[in-house]
Amino acid sequence: MTFRGLFTLSSSMIISAICAMCVVAKKLRFREHLEWAEKHKCLDDIYQFIIGLSEDQWCHGE
């Protein structure tokens, strides 16, 4: 399988690993954002925003 004409992937397991890394990267970024909010004393605002999200607005990383 050729990815955007740049290189060929020989195994779907590689794609799974790439997707898993994307999930990890997103979770790390979310944590960084929460740490930033804590440092800037706005965690309560973030909490209110998060609890206002509906289930379909969440990315569960599956």
pTM value surpassing 0.75: no
Cα angle 27, 47, 28; round to 5? 10
9-38: pLDDT as tens digits: 455 455 556 666 787 888 888 899 899 989
Beta bridge partners of 7: 3
Tokens representing 61 are: 């990383």
Is 5 in a helix, a strand, or coil? coil
Beta-carbon neighbour count of residue 31 at 10 Å? 10
Query: Quick one: tokens of 39?
Result: 């440092």
Tens of pLDDT, residue by residue over 44-55, are 998 998 899 898
Give pLDDT, residue 20.
Answer: 66
Q: How do the domains of the chain map onto residue ranges?
A: 2-57
* pLDDT for 57: 85
